[in-house]
Structure 1
Amino acid sequence: MWRTAAVWERALDAALVLTLVVELARVTSGIGNPAEGLLALVGCVTASLRRTAPITAMVVLVVLAGAGALFDPTNMVGTWVAGQVGLFSVALRRERSVALALGALLASTMYAIIVVVQGLPWIDPTSLVVLVWTAAVVGAALTIRAQHDAVEAEAQRVVSLQEAQESLVARRLTEERVRIARDLHDSVAHGISAIALQTSAIEASLGEPDVARERLRAVRTTARAVLGETQQVLQLLREGGGATGGANIGTVLEDARATGDDIDETLDPRLDAQPEATRVAMARVLREALTNARRHGRGRVTVRTAVERDTVSLVVVNQPATLPPTTSSQGFGLQGVRERAEAMGGHLEVHRSEHEFSLTIRLPRSEEGHR
């Protein structure tokens, strides 16, 4: 707004200088009265102070305009121009109510003096021009200000939209980093855990070459599977899609049994009709649950899936180990499971007791899965 006002202020300063030149020419040529020139000079000097003291300057200009109207309303153009310059500047810089009040004060003062004191008809052009021109000055200044305010509002809206977009992008990037970390954990952690257990078994069977050789083949198979799934996750990420392929409950169970897990499963066949995202999420959760059971539990692991009216559930139950876990925490596994469930509108339930550890995930059943 101040840049816009500065442009107009320079134009108004030029108008004041031109007014003084004209009034000087009128006085020196004998056309104008020296009193007119003096009032015009005082009015222009007062108008030049409108930037630092706009209200005070405007009040003085109203008094000078009234004095000019008392002296000779038809020849006091210089004083009148100074008053309009001050009014235009106030309308640009101050509140609309202030501009309208000062405009009304200036117009009514001059009009009253011209009609009442000078006795001119109330519809005389000299009388009416005071009202019309003053209204035009205030209206023009307020229109310019309104246009500028509209531009400023639009610019602010654009800035707000940009900030909102940047915030959305930042949030999406954060979510994407979490998703990548979760998918890589799902792909790698269980395999590394299985390899660690298998290598321990190999060490215990070094005196039995055939058994050790078989377990080495299992380690090689597990390592290849981990590498293949990790490459698939990275490939899907490079292509811009979600890392959802290559995981299903049947494959997860086969891999777990290959590493020696004892699993008793009861699978709902209707799960195969659920959307891929649901089936992949269940497989990822099952893999993490079996990894936890292998690291922190013992004995048989029970796996149950159920497709109900509104939800799809997976329950994994195992017996905790008699010894405490060798690690200080379970890492990011359960956190990743919880995030995955919440991202799909579901929730995770974990129950621990002395004799049982259970993990239950419930996901909403989509419309696609009902068909």
Structure 2
Amino acid sequence: MTTFERARCELKAHPLALDAALAAAVLLCMVAGSFAAPQDGDGVTWNTRAAAPLSLLLMLLAAVALVFRRRAPRTVLALTGTLSVVECVTGDPRAPVTMSAVIALYTVASTTDRTTTLRVGLLTMTVLTAVAMLAGPLPWYAQENLGVLAWTGIGATAGDAVRSRRAVVQAIRERAERAERTREEEARRRVAEERLRIARDLHDVVAHHIALVNVQAGVAAHVMDKRPDQAKEALAHVREASRSALDELRATVGLLRQSGDPAAPTEPAPGLGLLEDLAGTFRSAGLPVRVARTDQDTRLPAAVDLAAYRIVQEALTNVRKHAGAGARAEVSVVRAGRNIEITVVDDGSGETPAPGAHPGHHPGSVPEKGGGHGLLGMRERVGSLGGTLTTGPRYGSGFRVHAILPVDTTDTRVDGRTTAPGEPV
């Protein structure tokens, strides 16, 4: 930092000292100007005749008033304007006390709005110029009188220009700060959305496979002594379900890897292409599942395909956990115009849990106390893609989950922005 910049920072840190220095400089200019006398021709002449004592007093009072120009700009303008009028009427015409009024007018213009500047500026210009022309010792057409008009106008204009520049700089700074806050908020929002999506995936994976493991472990414990072959088969299903859970957990958690981390092999995200395999895992767990598809091999965006798979997975998991023994489920996938409809129904009563399953009510009979995250997760998935989800008990017995997802998510708006097909939501 240069010496000039350090001095400038020091003066800005002490505004009263800066105003005192300015007042001293203005006083010096006014005293020096009192030695100049106009000639009949061009220019001025300098002599050694000092100004009258009254003019020197007016100069001193005007300079002292300028020290407080930041604290009370309008009061200082009124005071310096009054001193200028007194100087024009009774003082030496060489005493330029009006210079202090110009500085005070500049201060008022730089600290107020444009309307106030226009009113105060016109009033100051009119009063000082009229007094100088009508009551001053010089002829009304003297160039000194016109100089009063010009200098007061320059002071008001310069002050308004400085105020406008400050306003522009402040607006630019505020826009930059607001843009920075917006970028930070957007980054936090995207992180929260990504965490929510990963949490939903982890919930779906864990709930599905742990439910299957629990059921098969219960079956194995139930038939271990009487039918060891069936217990062995159940344990094989437990092993397969746990392996699938680990694979999906590895693939999901792999999304959290940093760019510099070593790459790990991951499987592609599941979709409706694996619907039969998903139904097979439930059939092996003792839940009859019938799959009907009339979607004519519709090619879905990755986000829609994954959401459809997770909805079926979560709905069948709820059936296995809550529908009771002997329940059957039916899954249908139908293409309807620009949408694809996923329906999962069951005929369970929710009265008799399967061996090894967690006790609980079927969602279609009595609402679960405390509520679970399965239906909420499905609703969030469907809502994030611009679809609709309907859940509720069927007439008689059973439960129904019906989801409508748009095949083309290009026009789907999420939080006011457009998402492209397959973009994570």
Shift of 1:351: 1.8
Shift of 1:260: 2.4
The 1:6/1:131 distance shift into structure 2, 3 A limit, reads farther
Amino acid in structure 2 at the alignment position of 1:314: I
Query: Could you tell me the percent identity over the aligned residues?
Result: 27
Residue deviations 1:206-263, cap 9 Å, x none? 12222211111111111111111111112234378x9971343222112222222201
1:363 corresponds to: 405
Contact 1:236/1:243 (8 A) holds in 2: no
1:317 is the counterpart of 2:345: yes
The 1:119/1:23 distance shift into structure 2, 3 A limit, reads closer
1:192 is the counterpart of 2:210: yes
The 1:272/1:311 distance shift into structure 2, 3 A limit, reads closer
1:306 is the counterpart of 2:313: no
Contact 1:350/1:359 (8 A) holds in 2: yes
1:55 corresponds to: 74
Within 2, Cα distance between the matches of 1:236 and 1:52?
A: 60
Within 2, Cα distance between the matches of 1:137 and 1:33?
A: 27
Within 1, Cα distance between the matches of 2:11 and 2:198?
A: 51
Residue deviations 1:266-292, cap 9 Å, x none? 112424433333222211111111100
1:245 match: secondary structure: coil
Matches within 5 A, 1:268-287: 268-287=294-313
Amino acid in structure 2 at the alignment position of 1:112: A
After the TM superposition, which of the residue ranges 348-357 and 141-150 deviates more from structure 2? 348-357
Amino acid in structure 1 at the alignment position of 2:341: S
1:13 corresponds to: 20
Matches within 5 A, 1:112-261: 112-118=130-136, 120=138, 123-207=141-225, 208-238=227-257, 245-247=269-271, 248-261=274-287
The 1:243/1:139 distance shift into structure 2, 3 A limit, reads farther
Across the two proteins, how many residue pairs are aligned to each other?
364
Within 2, Cα distance between the matches of 1:173 and 1:133?
A: 60
Within 1, Cα distance between the matches of 2:11 and 2:308?
A: 63
1:49 match: secondary structure: coil
TM-score for both structures, normalised by structure 2: 0.78
Amino acid in structure 1 at the alignment position of 2:95: M
Shift of 1:60: 2.0
1:333 is the counterpart of 2:374: yes
The 1:149/1:269 distance shift into structure 2, 3 A limit, reads closer
Contact 1:103/1:134 (8 A) holds in 2: yes
1:350 is the counterpart of 2:391: yes
1:150 match: secondary structure: helix
Root-mean-square deviation over aligned CA pairs? 2.9
Within 2, Cα distance between the matches of 1:324 and 1:257?
A: 18
Within 1, Cα distance between the matches of 2:134 and 2:12?
A: 36
The 1:39/1:47 distance shift into structure 2, 3 A limit, reads same
Within 1, Cα distance between the matches of 2:142 and 2:268?
A: 86
Contact 2:16/2:68 (8 A) holds in 1: no
Question: Gaps spanning 5+ residues in structure 1: where?
Answer: none
Within 1, Cα distance between the matches of 2:302 and 2:26?
A: 82
The 1:364/1:82 distance shift into structure 2, 3 A limit, reads same
1:75 match: secondary structure: coil
1:76 corresponds to: 95
Candidates 111, 115, 127, aligned match of 2:129: 111
Within 2, Cα distance between the matches of 1:68 and 1:324?
A: 107
Contact 1:198/1:259 (8 A) holds in 2: yes
Contact 1:47/1:82 (8 A) holds in 2: yes
TM-score for both structures, normalised by structure 1: 0.88
Matches within 5 A, 1:90-109: 90-109=108-127
Matches within 5 A, 1:20-59: 20-21=27-28, 30-59=49-78
Contact 1:115/1:122 (8 A) holds in 2: yes
